[in-house]
Structure formats: structure tokens, C-alpha cells
Amino acid sequence: MSLESVPGNTISSVASEADGTPNGDTVDGLQAKTAPHEGCTSEEPVSLSKKQMKKLLRQKQWEATRELRKQKRKEKRKRKKLERLTQPEDDTAGRVRKRFCRDVVRSPVRVVIDCSFESLMPLQDIKKLHKQIQRCYSENRKALHPVQLYLTSHGGQLRKCMDEGDKGWVNWKDINVKSEHYAELIKKEDLVYLTSDSPNVLSELEDTKAYVIGGLVDHNHHKGVTYRLAVEKDINHAQLPLGNFIKMNSRKILAVNHVFEILLAYLEKKDWKESFFSVLPPRKGAVPLEENNKPEDEKVNVGAADEESTGSDLEAKDTEKYNCSLEEV
């Protein structure tokens, strides 16, 4: 005999016996629902399955304990707050947290990432630039003295990459994302373009200045392009004083985010040497330069990044940031 020929009430009885629940009874106040049996002209009762009954029971119990769970969460928050207030004064984590909240002071220094070099980069390098910009934004948000960060000439493929890879960038705070060129936003006398080819060496960061970092990842294919640009537009220019303080075994090339991090570190430490060593990866072999052995003109490339740059390098955790590749900005 096929299952379809079995009357609906028989199926209900079998299900009830399997559940141990009499047909038509309730489980903890839950009444078994009825539904028309397929193929029958009249509506006949069909018991809920054991799984369905248990699900309804769990839902009812969850609703019944809602206020209790809310009260427990509130008590837990109060308990943690009390623990923080009563913890020893020499607790390192608490001291760092309080210092961070108390000492954050926004710097008047402006830092501009010039994104007008899109025509000189393939899509792969534009994506790398996007990762470097992400790191700059993240570091600025965590800094004790965050700068006024600008992205200028923003648009084209770079914006498309940001829309596809990080849609949340439109909600970024404390950053000025502009489609205009930086020359349209900032007075010429306030601009200082950071480029390795400049004969001028940066000695300090002035509050009234806006320091421009070339947003270019070109693997040294366009050497000197940022310096020529600054000269053509009659913009002040300078190079970082890397050669005055350290000596490296590898190429002296920095990524956009590394130059940016060095500027942030200097605003906090007021010491170029400490700032360089707090950012440069140890694998680059950077060592302090002896005072009596300083080169006359040792430059740090600012304007392009090398082929070691990858997105994963720039997405590493803060505790692993020294493993990031050192690239030219």
C-alpha cells in the first residue's frame, strides 16, 4: 500500500506515537498546527514533526528569557567598568589607554598625497597605491598627533579600485578627498614637494606648510618625475634627511605609507633618527650613521615604489608592520 493512500489521521497517529505525544495535545503550551493533506478534498489534521515542535519550543523559551539576558549583559558591563576603575595604577594597558585618550592633539601640518600620476601606472600598480593609501589613513587615525590628510586629483581608475575593494572609504573621517589638483586647494607658498632629487634637505616640519607625497608606484621607470614637476610649477621641494642619520644595505626607496608614517613619527618624537628606525624594517639593514662619516649627498627616493610591494604587505597587523616591504613613494 502506498503512502498516499494512508489517511491523514493515520499519519497523525503514527507521528504522535513516535513523538510520545498524544494526537492533538500540546507541548509546553504549544498547540500542534493542522494543514490540509495533499491529495485530499477535505482538511484533515496533520501533526507538526518532532523537529518543528522542538523549534517552536526553543523559540518560546528564547522569548521568555529575553529580559533576563538583557539584565545579565548590563551587569557584565557594570562589572567590567568597576574593574577598570579599581585596577592598579601601574597597569600598563590601562595607562596606555588613558594616555591615548588624553594626549591626542591634531597637528596643523597638512600632508597631501598627489594622485595625479594615474597615466604613468598600470592597473596593478594603481591597486598597490590604493593599499598604501589605506595604510596612511589607518595610521593617521591611530596617531597621537594626526595630520590634516588630503587626497588630491582623486578619480579615474583609483576611485574605481577603491569603490570595488573598499566601499567604506566614502565614510572615512578626518580626511579630505578631492578631485581637484592640490594647487587649486592650497597656496603655492605653503607647498613643499617631497622628492629625492631635491638638493634641499628637510630639517623640520612647519605647521604652516603642506607636504606633498607623490602617489606614484612606478618601479623606478620614471625617475625624477616629481622633482621636474615641482620645478616646472615653481613649488618648494625637499628630500627627507635619511642620509644624515642612517645607512642601509639595500636600496633607499620608500613607499607612500612609509614616508607618511615617518612624518607622523617625527611629529610625535621630534627626532628624525628615532622616526626612521621606528618605521624602517630591520631586514633593510639600517644602521646608525657615525657623526664623522656622514655622506655629503645620500638621498632617499620619494615618488615611486618597487616591485616588492603587495597588498598583503600593507594589510599586515600593526605588530607585523615591520615586515612590510620598503618601497619608493
Distance separating alpha carbons of residues 223 and 179, to the nearest angstrom:
25
Distance separating alpha carbons of residues 226 and 238, to the nearest angstrom:
11
CA angle 137, 138, 144 (to 5 degrees): 100
Options 19, 218, 306, 313, the catalytic residue: 218
Q: What is the SS3 string spanning 101-158?
A: HHHCCCCCCEEEEECCCHHHCCHHHHHHHHHHHHHHHHHHHHCCCCCEEEEECCCHHH
Distance separating alpha carbons of residues 51 and 31, to the nearest angstrom:
14
Distance separating alpha carbons of residues 254 and 153, to the nearest angstrom:
22
The set of long-range contacts for 100-106, using a CB threshold of 8 Å and a minimum separation of 24, is: 100/144, 103/144, 104/143, 104/144, 104/145, 104/146, 105/144, 105/145, 106/145, 106/146, 106/147, 106/148
Q: How many CB atoms lie within 10 A of CB 30?
A: 16
Starting from the edge strand earliest in sequence, which strands make up the sheet with 191-194, in order? 175-177, 148-152, 110-114, 210-214, 191-194, 236-238
Q: Which three cell numbers stand for residue 3?
A: 503512502
Q: Which among 256, 249, 262, 266 is positioned nearest to 301, based on CA atoms?
A: 256
Known active-site residue 207: no
Distance separating alpha carbons of residues 47 and 43, to the nearest angstrom:
13
Catalytic residue numbers, as ranges: 218
